[in-house]
Amino acid sequence: MRRVLVLGGTREARDLAALLHADPAVSVVSSLAGRVREPVLPVGEVRVGGFGGRDALAEWMRGNRIDAVVDATHPFATRITANAAWACARAGAALLVLRRPEWVAGEGDRWHAVRDLAEAAREVPALGRRVFLTIGRQGVDAFAGAPGRYLVRAIDPPEVAMPAEATLLLDRGPFTLESEIALMREHRIEVLVTKNSGGALTSAKLGAARELGVPVLMVARTPVPPGVASTSDPTAAARWASGVA
């Protein structure tokens, strides 16, 4: 039986786990980092909590005879991806990165590409003072010293410094276009800050920004490490993990 580790926490990871769980020739375990208090769990075997670094991950993989790893973590979980690449090389396991496609600007969008959150914080004052911050709870402290009034939306409360003038909204997608427009109007949002995570669960905010003429500071992804195979299709990832492709 082929042993597969899915580094998860995303919708794509849950879809993949379901496909692999249905394959009698595959034994799959999904690993969640444990950073969300009430995560949506995939089907099948699940472990919650970090491995303790790349060395511990490689040791765990060897001890559990892992043949293949699919990194289906959040597109901005770059440290996990780097650790997975290192650990797979040491443990002799194959690695595939499963990433949803990026969002692409369309007609009417007013996107400003930035490399990271620090650059986004520097650019905010030039675009507006009422800011909708939708980057999750990690990295909010990059805006702690930035001027303006912030609406910070996250699933769990940030454990880092917040902007001086901030309203915290705890919520989880999917969101609708209508609700996002209403929220942005209620808080008189002048600029939206987000990461280019892709996917449909949280894309409605981009449509709302387009409708309202609100500029978007879009934080770019870090590329997949050189030499690591990747796909955006859970079905293709399942074929790869099962040894079919």
Do residues 66 and 57 make contact, with C-beta atoms less than 8 angstroms apart? no
Domains present along the chain, CATH in parentheses: 2-100+222-241 (3.40.50.720), 111-219 (3.40.50)
Could you tell me how many helices (H) and strands (E) the chain has, helices first?
Answer: 7, 12
**What confidence tens digit (pLDDT) does each residue in 123-174 have?**
999 999 999 999 998 899 999 999 999 999 999 999 999 999 999 999 988 9
**What pLDDT, on the 0 to 100 scale, is given for residue 173?**
86
Q: Max Cα separation, the chain?
A: 57
**What pLDDT, on the 0 to 100 scale, is given for residue 36?**
66
**What pLDDT, on the 0 to 100 scale, is given for residue 243?**
84
- Kindly report the pTM of this predicted structure: 0.86
Phi, psi of 128 (to 5 degrees): 170, 165
Q: Look up residue 210 and give its two tokens.
A: 């387009």
* CA 244/CA 126 separation, integer angstroms: 52
* Positions of the chain with pLDDT under 50: none
